[in-house]
Amino acid sequence: MDNLRQLIEAFIFASDIPLSLDRLSVLSEQPKALIKPIVEQLQLQYVAAERGFYLAEVAGGYQFRTVVELAPWLRKLSKDRASRFSRAALETLAIIAYRQPATRSEIEYLRGVDSGGVMKTLLDKNLLRILGKKDMPGRPLMYGTSRQFLELFGLRDLTDLPTLKEFTALDPALTEADPLDPEPVE
């Protein structure tokens, strides 16, 4: 196919969700081994061209994203206010992201407060998903993060989450205790 690069670029541009190599392969009816180098070439071209957007690998797929420096200007396009998260929502997301699968009682133990309302909101926003039931009395639900979570935070997968060491490099006050660990290490 002569215009495969253009077709791949068009698929990614037209999609409202990140497209995986497998999906691009199915859509283009071409082998994944042929698609991957094209996507990598496109990524390099967009970075080198210093455009207002780039081709990012997020949530197990590829999606065009605008450069961060333009965010204040791009907010003018949206009549809605930017989505903001409460401290409770961010704490809950962080606990689940780092500890998944996690039950509501585990999350509430770590936070020290009821988290039912926050978790319902995060489920409604498709940032969390139910992974199943824990094999223990009462069979509580287990929660994990969703693909939407990865997309929103620009992560390829959960291994892209910053480590505690990276956090402490940003804020030395965090070296005192792990904010996600209920028992301080001595």
Question: Are both 61 and 93 inside the same structural domain?
Answer: no
The reply to whether 53 falls in a domain is yes
Question: Are both 92 and 150 inside the same structural domain?
Answer: yes
CATH number for 33: 1.10.10.10
pLDDT per residue over 53-68, tens digit each?
999 998 889 999 888 8
pLDDT per residue over 41-99, tens digit each?
999 999 888 888 999 998 889 999 888 888 888 877 766 555 678 889 999 999 999 99
Range of the domain at 56: 4-67
The reply to whether 113 falls in a domain is yes
The reply to whether 47 falls in a domain is yes
Distance CA(113)–CA(115), nearest Å, equals 6
The reply to whether 79 falls in a domain is no
The reply to whether 186 falls in a domain is no
Question: Are both 63 and 129 inside the same structural domain?
Answer: no
Q: Once rounded to an integer, what is the mean pLDDT over residues 139-160? A: 89
Predicted confidence at residue 185, as pLDDT, reads 40
DSSP string, 64-120: EEE-GGGHHHHGGG-SSPPP---HHHHHHHHHHHHH-SEEHHHHHHHHSS--HHHHH
Question: Are both 39 and 93 inside the same structural domain?
Answer: no
Structural domains of the chain, count? 2
The reply to whether 77 falls in a domain is no
The reply to whether 11 falls in a domain is yes
Q: Once rounded to an integer, what is the mean pLDDT over residues 97-116? A: 90
